[in-house]
């Protein structure tokens, strides 16, 4: 299966899981957010090829993390989304700390997983995690602030996609510059870094575009359940 198909599959399935999480409540959305952020840290050091250009394997998961925040702001409120940002941060820090302790265990000769494989994956994680957390905290706060502004100016169902995409583009631009600069500066040539950064930004926007139909679906799917917070600000 090609990388492009895998990327699309992750984006579509991930967005669908987030919408189903909405039905279960904000706690399930918190879990969806933390899961995607941990996946960013776990696979963030892997560079892959999409349509012949190089990018980072964690882009789809970060795009889905932002989608989770959009659902939280839309169906709950700004305060809940900001709380989720810090819950996600705590989750990633805990995951990184525990994995760094875990790889210090003395390896058993009966283990079927080579020690080198575990080290290769997790010893590279701290730098990626620091980069992703820094970029996440800055871009997530910017996204929530922008989305809340757009939500008050562009109310109702028909503007939902515009609110989401407008906020996501700015947030993903900030995230891409911060994350790729901190994570890969000095590790890859400057030309490759610029390519990875640019393609990373575009791929996250692709995830946002793919998520738009699911965003509208959330309004219908939640009927009888959670009421969009935008309805409290005015009729659509």
pLDDT in tens, 109-149: 655 555 555 555 556 666 777 777 888 899 999 999 999 88
Residue 110 resides in a domain? no
Predicted confidence (pLDDT) at residue 66 exceeds the cutoff of 70: yes
pTM for the predicted model, two decimal places: 0.83
CB half-sphere exposure, 22, CA atoms < 13 A = 30
Tallying the residues shown for the chain, one arrives at 236
Could you give the number of structural domains in the chain?
1
Calpha distance 213→198 (Å, rounded):
25
Any domain includes 114: no
- Answer yes or no: is 111 within a domain: no
Mean pLDDT for the chain overall:
81
The pLDDT value given to residue 233: 47
pLDDT digits (tens, 9 = 90+) for 143-180: 999 998 888 888 777 788 889 999 999 998 998 888 87
Residue 112 lies in a domain: no
For 222-235, the pLDDT digits (tens) are 644 555 554 444 44
- Characterize 31-66 residue by residue with b for buried, 16 or more Cβ atoms within 10 angstroms of its Cβ, and e for exposed: ebbbbbbbbbbbbbbeebebeeeebbbbbbbbbbbb
Domain-embedded: residue 195:
yes
Digit-coded pLDDT (tens) for 183-196: 777 777 778 778 87
> Is residue 196 assigned to a domain?
yes
Residue 37 included in any domain: yes
> Can you read off the two tokens belonging to residue 215?
């965003």
What's the domain range around 217? Answer: 3-102+121-232
Determine the Cα–Cα distance for residues 143 and 149; give it in Å rounded to an integer: 10
Please check whether residue 63 is in contact with residue 172, taking contact to mean a CB–CB distance below 8 angstroms.
Answer: yes
The answer to whether residue 44 is domain-embedded is: yes
φ/ψ of 191, rounded to 5, equals -65, -40
The band of 16, judged by pLDDT with boundaries at 50, 70 and 90, is very high
């Amino acid at each position: 299966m090609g990388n492009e198909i895998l990327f699309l599959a992750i984006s579509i399935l991930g967005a669908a899981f987030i919408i189903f999480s909405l039905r279960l409540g904000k706690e399930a959305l918190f879990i969806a957010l933390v899961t995607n952020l941990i996946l960013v840290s776990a696979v963030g050091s892997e560079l892959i090829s999409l349509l012949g250009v190089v990018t980072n394997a964690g882009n789809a998961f970060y795009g889905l993390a932002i989608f989770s925040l959009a659902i939280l702001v839309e169906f709950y409120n700004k305060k809940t989304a900001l709380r989720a940002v810090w819950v996600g941060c705590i989750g990633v820090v805990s995951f990184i700390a525990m994995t760094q302790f875990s790889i210090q265990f003395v390896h058993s000769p009966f283990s079927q997983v080579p020690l080198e494989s575990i080290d290769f994956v997790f010893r590279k994680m701290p730098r990626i995690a620091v980069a992703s957390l820094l970029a996440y905290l800055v871009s997530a706060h910017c996204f929530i602030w922008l989305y809340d502004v757009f939500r008050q100016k562009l109310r109702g169902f028909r503007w939902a996609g515009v609110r989401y995409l407008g906020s996501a583009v700015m947030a993903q631009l900030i995230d891409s510059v911060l994350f790729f600069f901190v994570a890969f500066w000095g590790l890859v040539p400057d030309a490759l870094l610029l390519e990875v950064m640019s393609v990373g930004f575009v791929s996250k926007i692709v995830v946002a575009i793919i998520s738009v139909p699911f965003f509208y679906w959330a309004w219908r799917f939640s009927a009888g359940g959670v009421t969009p917070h935008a309805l409290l600000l005015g009729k659509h």
